[in-house]
Amino acid sequence: MIDCDVHVQWPDPEDVLAYVDPAQREWFRVQAQPLGLPGYPWVHPHSFYRQDLAAPGVVPGATVEEVRRDVLDGLGVDLGILNADEAVTVSLMTSPSRAAELARAHNDWIRERWLDEEPRLRGGIVCPAQDPQAAADEIRRAAADSRFVHVLLVGGSERPYGEARYLPIFEAAVECGLPVAVHSGGEGMGLAAPPGGAGMPTYYIEWHTLGSAGSIMAHLVSLVVNGVFERLPELRVLLIEGGIAWLPGILWRLDGNWRGLRADTPWLMRKPSEIVREHIRFTTQPLEHTEGRDDLLFEMLEAAGAPDNLCFATDYPHWDFDDPAFMLKRLPESWREKVMHENAAALYGERLGLVAA
């Protein structure tokens, strides 16, 4: 079983700071928010973390031992991909040079403190997307270690990722044989545009319902209509934690509009939904709770390319974590192998080093 979204936590920001250029450490220490990363305007009313694991002042999952106990051994996960938690928002810092420094330090910290400690872990590469050339440089540097298996971008952004300025990031990923993962989050933080489509929402529940889904929808449509997959036929994109029940409806809209608006994007020679099927994958968590209509949900997902486009993820240690037992119980039997293992193995290919499993 492959878990495509395990969040890596630090027990103390100083752990990561130890990897920052000593001359810059003080700058990161004196920022209002930890490490100068942008802060959320909304927070979960209880905690962002699983309450069965959290204690006052303690972030769960901040040690390799906990990830072994709670994920690898505890759930029978063969390979877990570590995605930055707060640090994925380096792209939303106003300073691109500080963002590049922190991204580099975070990638090195993951490599030495996590990947070197536990052979069942793999890493996502964070990079400063607000400076795409610097981001490409960091991708090439970090990707030299084959235990990094994807580039990790955050959902919140100044512009959708199909925009021409971001192309160096995707080119570097393809050059290194890496998929690009876009993880929801960060919408409305720092440099990011407001979430949803009508200005800053009021409550965390709005962000969690539409902010996370909305940025993922926007990047999907943008990457397709800007022709990024035409330029980079080998590119694969994994969309993490934006939900999936909206997918058939949005693909219908997109295909219909493509038919009516061919002159807007003449380089698109195929239906957008076909491009999505070939190039884009989705993680399961959070698979929508359907009020007893999982039959309908799976029929909808099938119309949009499932089960071939779904990869299992727990989102450990966040509050809305999905247990694999829960997922196995919900998934149609014929989907289970693909979703829990095969699709991720195909997406990451040799880089996943499946001999390690």
Site for its own copies in 46-65 (CB under 8 A): 46
> Which of 110, 216 has the CB closer to its own copies?
216
Taking the complex as a whole, how short is the minimal distance between the CB of residue 103 and its own copies, in angstroms? 20
- Residues 55 and 66: their CA atoms lie apart, in Å, by 14
Taking the complex as a whole, how short is the minimal distance between the CB of residue 311 and its own copies, in angstroms? 19
Taking the complex as a whole, how short is the minimal distance between the CB of residue 1 and its own copies, in angstroms? 24
# chain residues binding its own copies, by CB under 8 A = 78
Q: Tell me which residues in 20-39 interact with its own copies (CB under 8 A).
A: none
Q: Tell me which residues in 86-125 interact with its own copies (CB under 8 A).
A: none
Q: Tell me which residues in 214-253 interact with its own copies (CB under 8 A).
A: 214-219, 221-222, 225-226, 243-250, 252-253
User: Is residue 159 a contact residue for its own copies (CB under 8 A)?
Assistant: yes
Tokens of residue 144, six digits? 């030299």
Q: Tell me which residues in 170-199 interact with its own copies (CB under 8 A).
A: 187, 192-199
Stretch 319-338: interaction string toward its own copies, x if CB under 8 A: xx------------------
Q: What is the dihedral of CA 89, 90, 94, 100, to 10 degrees?
A: -170
Cross-sheet strand order for the sheet of 2-8: 2-8, 79-84, 121-126, 148-154, 180-183, 237-240, 280-283, 310-311
Taking the complex as a whole, how short is the minimal distance between the CB of residue 222 and its own copies, in angstroms? 6
User: Is residue 317 a contact residue for its own copies (CB under 8 A)?
Assistant: no
Tokens of residue 54, six digits? 């959290």
Taking the complex as a whole, how short is the minimal distance between the CB of residue 192 and its own copies, in angstroms? 8
Among 155, 185, 190, 307, binds its own copies (CB under 8 A): 155
Stretch 287-316: interaction string toward its own copies, x if CB under 8 A: -xxxx-x--xx-xx--x-------------
User: Is residue 203 a contact residue for its own copies (CB under 8 A)?
Assistant: yes
Tokens of residue 339, six digits? 């979703």
> Which of 98, 208 has the CB closer to its own copies?
208
Q: What is the dihedral of CA 159, 106, 172, 235, to 10 degrees?
A: -70
Q: Tell me which residues in 259-288 interact with its own copies (CB under 8 A).
A: 259-261, 263-265, 273, 286, 288
Taking the complex as a whole, how short is the minimal distance between the CB of residue 272 and its own copies, in angstroms? 9
User: Is residue 131 a contact residue for its own copies (CB under 8 A)?
Assistant: no
Among 17, 213, 240, 327, binds its own copies (CB under 8 A): 213
User: Is residue 318 a contact residue for its own copies (CB under 8 A)?
Assistant: no
Please identify which residue in the block is written with the tokens 């200005």. Answer: 199
User: Is residue 208 a contact residue for its own copies (CB under 8 A)?
Assistant: yes
Smallest Cα–Cα separation from 343: which of 331, 329, 330, 325? 331
> Which of 101, 241 has the CB closer to its own copies?
241
- Residues 31 and 35: their CA atoms lie apart, in Å, by 6
